[in-house]
Amino acid sequence: MPLTIALYADQVALGEVVISATRERQLRSDVPLSIGVIGPDEIGRIQPEHPSDIMNSIPGVWVNQTTGEGHMTSIRQPLSIFPLFLYLENGIPTRSTGFFNHNALFEINIPQAGAIEVIRGPGTALYGSDAIGGVVNVETAAPPDAPRAEATVEGGSHGFKRVLLSGGASPGSHGVRADINVTDSEGWRNSTEYARQSATLTWTTQAGARTHVRSVAAFSRVDQKPAGVSALSEEDFRSRPTLNYQPISYRDIRALRISSAVTHERGRTLISATPFFRYNTNRLLPNWSLTFDPVTWDVSNWSIGMQLRARRTTDTADGLIVGGVDLDLSPGHRTETELDPVREGSIFVSATELDPLYEYDVTYRQASPYVHAEAEPIDGARFSAGLRLDLAGYSYDNQLSVATGGSHRRPPSTSVTFTHLSPKAGVTVDLAPHVSAFASYRHGFRVPEESQLFRQGSSENTVGLDPVKVDNVELGVRGRAGESIRFDAAVYRLMKADDIVRFVNADGTQAYVNAGRTSHIGAEVGLGVEPLPGLVVSGALTRARHRYEDWVTAAGEDLSGNEMELAPRTLANVSAEFEHGLLAGGSIALELNHVSPYWMDPANSSTYEGHDILALRAALDVTDHVRLFVRVTNLTDELYAERATFNAFRGDEFAPGLPRSVYVSLRYVLD
């Protein structure tokens, strides 16, 4: 069994409270899941410029940086752009199923979040499609108990500038909080500037002794160049890493989310209703397809939905039962227009829009009842089980003519439906004071994306694609030894069937079929140690194996038995932080991030050598209200790749990682 070891402090506290399993507060020791938690103090200390700055401290999690605040994610899966992970804000999906964005975290205001929780593997019965490799839930910060205002001004390398403003109070039975994030960067490579504006408004009220309301409005706008990973040939990667082959590429994101969670509790029963509204737009010129399929995308959708949930506790066996239904109606639109690009040498310098290749309306509908139950029939042994039924489907209305040949086929207007049942079961057992073990089985799935179904490409038939299914089995143990050592371990086996295979034809065009079975086996162990007062050693070390078990592409290439690309066997994140009176209220931390060699292609013909990156953080109280922060990333200025792939038409390609960069900020707090 491959081994994953993670050393980290805050995330492994046995008595930690989590909310992602049942959307209510629970002791982490009672949950038969692998859950990593990043709290508000850690977010405030690190002040992440990018999600990877903070999330890679969780075992089994690898978030890379594409361009600007863009990212790809790996949780019990290879690094991927596919909908294998469910992203939530306050327990609500940030996007509708079918409109996945692998850059989902840059639509969320991470540096001002209240907490981040990551379920590794499929979620509980409360979560449906896309919860395959993991569930990432970002909680917005709550209003402060007493009036408080905070301002952070930051500047750094490559023209990085950021202002973070927060303020709030809780007068009487009400609470209010506002967070604003304005970020701008020139980028360290040619034509890689980006800008973001985010705002979050939270209002809470206690309506009597039993009813609580939390309303949240969150908005983000992100403009960046290029749209995604800007990879280079090996020669340019090593000699001219600031080069960008696609300076004409761009991505323009708008995301608005509004929700209001009403909770009423009477005796042993709690009832909650959370209506929500979402609006997303994604306009881009994809840089990755300019060489073989030059297009622009304009994708938008809005959603209305409701989460209804009831919870009942019982005296018998300390029982708990949760039942509910998730409702979602999400109309959307996609326009894809052909481009005629102009290239000077290796650089794309301009492009002219031609005719539309795809234009259609598509509506996603979902009604998903579920039940989750827990009981402790034996002292120290808590059992849980869940079942979810997802009734989902798309209505597709083609706005162009039907095309039955070529590389941009268009199916006629149609509807497709999916029905899927997902069982879950688990148990936690107290082994000793402050030590518990758990075991669980969880089934997960994802329905095909709207673009996989109706953006047909050269495939014979994509409308008939089936859902991808996974079965995850894991065992774990967690606890503490004394007051200075905490640990958390899990081994897992995740099997994926009916995977949607993307293959590339001889002319470079792409197509999709249900043709794959893969295996994902690993172990995750956490350890946090305080060897000396004020010194905390923490980090993450991962070993895992991701393999194609049965995988023959429509082009006839048999990859069965090969390891999957972008799947390093070892990931490591280790840090040491020292905070002591000798530093006059300050702290200093050194962090190492390690990525081992991995295959760059499914055929296992090219290997990326891996990398080790150091970062340094320091903080110092200037006055009672002002704190100074300094961050140095890539301390030794290593040349490394955030993503390395092999392409049959272009050879080895490397997306350069950020060189040594320095960031300085001042935080002023008034309370």
The CATH number of the domain where 285 resides is what? 2.40.170.20
pLDDT band for position 138 (50/70/90)? very high
pLDDT band at 600 (very low <50, low <70, confident <90, very high): very high
β-bridge mates for residue 75, sequence order: 61
53 Cβ partners below 8 Å, 6+ apart? 46, 615, 633
Report residue 15's pLDDT band, with 50, 70 and 90 as the boundaries: very low
Q: What's the length of the chain?
A: 671
Distance CA 86, CA 56 (A): 17
Indicate the pLDDT class of residue 360, thresholds 50, 70 and 90. very high
What does the alpha-carbon distance between residue 306 and residue 326 come to, in Å, rounded to a whole number?
6
Q: Indicate whether 652 pLDDT > 50.
A: yes
Q: Does pLDDT of 476 surpass 60?
A: yes
Closest residue by Cα to residue 286 from 341, 241, 327: 341
Please give the Cα distance from 259 to 88 (Å, whole number): 12
Number of domains in the chain: 1
Burial profile 533-566: b = 16 or more Cβ within 10 angstroms, e = fewer: eeebbbbbbbbbebbbbebbbeeeeebeebbbbb
pLDDT at 581 over 90: no
- Tokens 């326009």 correspond to 335
Of 647, 572, 659, the residue nearest 290 (C-alpha): 647
Over pLDDT 70: what percentage of the chain?
96
Q: Provide mean pLDDT across the span 311-334.
A: 95
Under the banding of pLDDT at 50, 70 and 90, the label for residue 31 is: very high
CA angle 327, 328, 329 (to 5 degrees): 135
Cβ contact 141:95 at 8 Å: no
Asked if residues 494 and 471 have their Cβ atoms less than 8 Å apart, the reply is: yes
Angle ∠(500,505,511) on CA atoms, nearest 5: 30
Q: Residue 613: is its pLDDT beyond 80?
A: yes
507 has a pLDDT exceeding 60: no
pLDDT digits (tens, 9 = 90+) for 326-335: 999 999 999 9
Taking phi first (over 0 means left), then psi (-120 to 50 degrees means alpha), and beta for anything else, what does residue 556 get?
A: left
Average pLDDT over residues 374-384: 95
In SS3 terms, 2-13 reads as CCCEECCCHHHC
Separation of alpha carbons 288 and 227, rounded Å: 8
Q: What is the DSSP letter of 60?
A: T
How much is the pLDDT for 362? 98
What domain range is 502 assigned to?
Answer: 5-670
Is the distance from CB of 436 to CB of 430 less than 8 angstroms?
A: yes
Question: Per-residue b/e over 463-480, b at no fewer than 16 CB within 10 Å?
Answer: bebebbbbebebebbbbb
Confidence of residue 563 (pLDDT cuts 50, 70, 90): very high
pLDDT band at 648 (very low <50, low <70, confident <90, very high): confident
Confidence (pLDDT) at 428: 97
- Residue 505 phi/psi, 5-degree rounding, is -75, 175
Token pair of 578, please?
Answer: 């020292």
How big is the CA angle at 273 (ends 427 and 129), to the nearest 5 degrees?
55
The per-residue pLDDT for 460 is 80
- What are the backbone dihedrals phi and psi of residue 374, each rounded to the nearest 5 degrees, phi first? -135, 150
pLDDT at residue 502, as a whole number: 67
Q: Which of the four pLDDT bands, split at 50, 70 and 90, describes residue 511?
A: low
What does the pLDDT average to over 369-378?
A: 96
What DSSP string runs through 271-292? EEEEEEEEEEEEEEE-GGGTTT
First to last CA, the chain: 52
Whether the pLDDT of residue 10 is over 50: the answer is: no
**pLDDT bucket at 13, cuts 50 / 70 / 90:** very low
For the chain, what is the mean pLDDT? Answer: 93
Tens of pLDDT, residues 109-134: 999 999 999 999 999 999 999 999 99
Q: What is the pLDDT of residue 6?
A: 35
Please state, in angstroms and as integers, the Cα–Cα distance from residue 385 to each residue in 118, 128, 131, 323, 538, following that order: 20, 15, 17, 12, 33
Q: What is the pTM of this model?
A: 0.95
CB contact set of 618 (below 8 Å; sequence gap of 6+): 586, 587, 588, 589, 629, 630
Task: Please report which confidence band the pLDDT of residue 508 belongs to, taking 50, 70 and 90 as the band edges.
Answer: low
What pLDDT does 11 receive? 41
Task: Quick: pLDDT tens for 65-108.
Answer: 998 899 999 999 999 999 999 999 999 999 999 999 999 999 99
pLDDT of residue 16: 77
Measured distance CA(73)–CA(566) in Å, rounded: 11
Q: d(Cα 191, Cα 182) in Å, to the nearest integer?
A: 20
- Look at residue 222 and tell me whether its pLDDT is greater than 50: yes
**Region 39-45: what's the mean pLDDT?**
93
Cβ atoms 117, 18 nearer than 8 A: yes
